[in-house]
Chain A
Amino acid sequence: MSEPSALSPQPSALGSYLRVVGALALKDLRLESRRRETVAGVLVFVLLVLGLFQFALDFERAEARRLVPGVLWITLLFAGLLALGRAFAAERDQGTLDGLLLAPIDRSALYLAKVLATVVMMSAVEAVALPVFAGVFDAPLLAPGVLLTVFLGTLGFAAAGTLFAALAAQTRARDVLLPLLLLPLLVPLLIGAARATDDLLAGAATPVSAPWWELLAGLCALFLGASVLLFDALLEE
């Protein structure tokens, strides 16, 4: 190992890894900010589904209170599926996946970059959707506890979703396969996020009915960790 000189310090391995992740994520985000296909489309979808729930469930303001967590999280779940469907679409359409794979980077960096980009894009959608939901349902959805829950849920969703989106993207019936693979695995995420939101909307500062935040955090760690280990196996020739 060469001595780091005072003038040009040796970059740490972790540092350059993170830089690669950041660069890849930035590439995706820059692409998105130019075309705005994913965020705009998903956002409109979210608002539309909100309307659909209203038409289907026909709730008055008073009853809606009980249903808000469920409606919110189901909507986010399906919106996320849409966003994931597009996560690898660019690489597939333009055939840039091979180029990325040939680059001398750890493939897990590609995975983390996709997760990061997905979280950022979903957060952009949520930044608009949450205030709208809060207004429509007259519910304090912008409280810090709720925001934390939404972040944890989004991160967990992106972590598991990116792994399986990469898998599904290389198969025939990718649109059908992704929900089938992902949704059963995400049941604990849905339960945790919805119940936590429920507790918070009822007035608690943190979830009280069960350690939901710990559950969500644990899921994030589990999915991120497992995916980092397994992502390689998905992209082999």
Chain B
Amino acid sequence: MSSILTREPIAAPAGRDARRFSAGFGKQDRVLNVLFVLTVVAMLAALYAIFVYAPTERVMGHVQRIFYVHVSLAWLSYLAFLVVFVASIVYLWRRDERWDAAARASAEIGVVFTTLFIISGSLWGRPVWGTWWTWDARLTTTAILWFIYVAYLMLRAYVPDMPRAARYAAVLGIVGFVDVPIIHMSVVWWRTLHPEPTVARLDSSPLLPPEMLATLVVASVAFGLLYVTLMIVRVRLERARDEVRYLQQALSLRGE
């Protein structure tokens, strides 16, 4: 993205904040390595749970195993956007760029997870209910979420000017997240008006067998660890990019 050759004028980061650039990919790598290993282990455990431990669902057969990854991705998406919300608030309050970097990173990861959630839902719906898309409440709400956070990313792309982009994005991050419960409510009310004929979703049934619940938890934990790993790497990337911009400005001030 930003190479040494671009010369976009940006404001230097706040003094106190400037010291905290994690330019040190050195010793902090230990934390990241441990986390990565943990993530891989958790993923393997989840795979075992999903494909070996979990019972085969009576009606849908093995295709139902998509459910574990589908719902896990949903939860992690919501978590990612919650992080965007909190980071946006703290950023507007403290004006500390690290929080903006966290918001940026979480929004991007959230969009990836949401996209996968929608795709997995589609691939599950097709064999089970015959259609690639159903307007059920969860899928619809999450689709709208997808649009909101894609707009968040596009907003950042359209406004290269840094503190401004961070502020604008923070506003969207806050308003967007607060809107989510209302979106959900309105879609649920709307769907109860025109319910899908086959919308007996397994995950909304309270009678989830304990093995399936356990599998779901394991899968969610695995994806949660993946989220944390991705966040750490991504935030470091953002901070490093911030430092590049800062150094570029220092260079241009010097007259190069």
Contacts and interface: CB of A to CB of B under 8 A. Distances in A.
> Are A and B direct contacts in the complex by CB distance below 8 Å?
yes
Contacts of A222: 178-179, 182
Interface string B144-165: 1001101100110011000010
Nearest to A233: B167
B151 A181 contact: yes
A209 B190 CA distance: 9
A180 B186 contact: no
Interface string A153-196: 00000001001100100111100010011011101100110010
A167 B186 contact: no
B175 A172 contact: no
Interface string B127-140: 00000000000000
Nearest to B154: A180
B174 interface: yes
18 contacts: A167-B168, A172-B158, A172-B159, A177-B154, A177-B158, A180-B154, A181-B155, A185-B176, A187-B183, A191-B189, A209-B193, A212-B189, A218-B182, A226-B174, A227-B175, A230-B175, A233-B92, A234-B167
Interface in A80-125: none
A171 B154 CA distance: 12
B172 A209 contact: no
Q: Which 9 A-B pairs have the closest CB atoms?
A: A188-B186, A210-B189, A184-B147, A191-B186, A180-B151, A184-B148, A188-B182, A230-B171, A233-B167
Interface residues of B, number: 30
B244 to A, nearest CB: 22
Interface in A187-236: 187-188, 191-192, 195, 209-212, 215, 218-219, 222-223, 226-227, 230, 233-234, 236
A223 B176 CA distance: 10
B182 A181 contact: no
Per DSSP, chain B at the interface is: helix
Contact of B193 (A187, A192, A210): A210
Contacts, number: 90
A209 B171 contact: no
Interface string B223-250: 0000000000000000000000000000
A181 B175 CA distance: 11
A185 B179 CA distance: 7
A181 B158 CA distance: 12
Interface of A: 160, 163-164, 167, 170-173, 177, 180-181, 183-185, 187-188, 191-192, 195, 209-212, 215, 218-219, 222-223, 226-227, 230, 233-234, 236
B179 A188 contact: yes
B234 to A, nearest CB: 23
Contacts of A185: 148, 175-176, 179
Contacts of A187: 144, 183, 186-187
Contacts of B193: 195, 209-210
B119 interface: no
